[in-house]
Structure 1
Amino acid sequence: MPRSPLRLLDGTLDPESGEGGESAAHRFVLGGPFGAEPAETSAERLARFADAGGLLVETSHSYAAGQAEAAVGQWLRKNPGTLGVVTKVGHDTTGADIPLGAATVHAHVRAARENLGVETIDVLLYHCDDPARPVAELADTLVSLVESGLARRVGASNWQAHRLSALAVELAARGHTPVASYQFGLAEPDPALLGGSLHADTGILDVVRAHRLPLLAWSSQARGYFARTGPRETHGGPDPYDTEDNRARRHRCRELAAQLGTRPETVALAWTLRHPRVWPSIGPRTTVQIDRSLEARRLPLTEAQVRWLRHGR
């Protein structure tokens, strides 16, 4: 039967239940260095993820200097209907924000569709905000993408909480619920070191819960932080996740992993899965790392364990 990632986003398909023919479907979203690695490496991971019940692959019009979508599209053309796709527009190929005028957005989305080899993009997100434009205008552009058949679901990444709330209101008035995309996981980064991207802090989560938004949680594994034992540089600078609080959380993950016979990064992902309507995005480099991530589905953490992992009490 056709795979239904958007039914899962809407909460009308129960992961793991097999309802609707989606046997072993799960909430993980696959990211990775598509376009910056050999095509065979990408293909191996995409196939393993799909075979294991994956529904969505995530990329961006700007990743890998603009080559990522085409790399994902190369596999999707050979495996049509196997995975849905999330992509983002609003950055140029250097990663810089661009103005989100309707004509520019439509042009980039049409190019993304051609790159990916799909008629309609499953989830299309603004990669950034354009604070100079009214939220209503940006909402109108998103709705026009759906009405023109370029996208099925729309939303935003890295918007301030008050702008995200306004977007949810504007889209609701037009019959749509936006998908939100922010960094979220057990490790909370130092915002000064996150390079302008936003963590789903209390303000963002309040908006997500109030409007019942699906949340795509990128860097849910904190860029491998829970698998390491010490700090490492990120893009030539300090690791934004290497804080005193996160070192304590990593220690607790190691302690609980030893009790459960698993790995600390798997425990951290299980913590994220305990949050409803959150889709953790994983960035494995190997199929083994995919399998380790999927083990998180089989760790039934208790409420006390979820609280202890985060707060230590």
Structure 2
Amino acid sequence: MSAGAMRRLAAPFSPRRRNQLASLLTRPRLWGLSETAFHAPILVSGAPRSGTTFLAELLADGTGGRIVFEPMAHGLTYRRLRALTRPMVLMPSPELLQAVGWLLHAPLPYNHRIDHLARPGRSGTRIVKDLRLSFCLPEIAAAFPEATILHIVRHPFDAIRSHLKLTLATDHLTRARRRVGLLLGHTDLKARIPWLHRLRFDPESAAQMQLVEWCVTQFPVTQAAAAGRIEILRYADLVRPETRDAALGVLADALKARAIPFDRALLQPDRPSTTSNTGEAPVPAQRIDRHEGFFPEAETAAMFAILREAGMMADARHDIFGQRLA
């Protein structure tokens, strides 16, 4: 990178650029919509593949709010925040907190690029779902006490399993195989097309190790920083039948304390459903959060070795997520 580019990355916002961002985020007349007041904003964050989208959609169903998906991932926002650190993780700064304030409260229209996937809601609650703000949650909680901040955590092994399944379904190398499966009417490609490559954990994979790093780093950080201002939820608790009611009760209580109504009767029914190999009640097939038996024993031992090296083992046989090494 050139010296000029480095200077531009390190330069703080100028007043003109601040005004540009404020203008873009707060001028609904540009898009032909009247101003809408948003109250009681909710910020949902977590590591990739940790269930943030699932939690945001659950909140939208129960509160009638409107979701803004990943606003910090868009060029319109990020080009005006490029004075900050690398794109995957935005670290605290006055400019970032100012932008977060606009995202939580500004009357963004439905078809704006920042609000590109927002869906209309019944209430004035805005739900901002963004992964890149995960490491700024304590600062955001202190700067915006009116916001409800929900951080969802997931066991890194389950996140990797979800990542591998997503990669199998979407990457360029398997598109031809997916077309074959669709032509043959197959939906479960892994089970019906035996020549699909086996999903496996690879410690040499930068993407997989970055995912482990996100999960491992954020869990203790958010636990220590919560102090009653950040509600930490476990994805497994929200999807497993034996813990779902209790987890939804905790979520409803947290929202009630902020005067945000949450009606569990409005939650969408789970579909499609299946039963896990432990004989539990039906839960969504894509959301069974059990990595046991998915990875071979050698790969599981290698994954636990990574957690042990990171200091994430509660004892010799259990990690701090409650999982046990077989």
- TM-score, normalized by the shorter chain, greater than 0.5: no
Q: TM-score, normalising length from structure 1?
A: 0.29
Name the larger-Rg structure. Answer: 2
Q: Structure with the greater relative contact order (CA < 8 A, sep ≥ 6): 1 or 2? A: 2
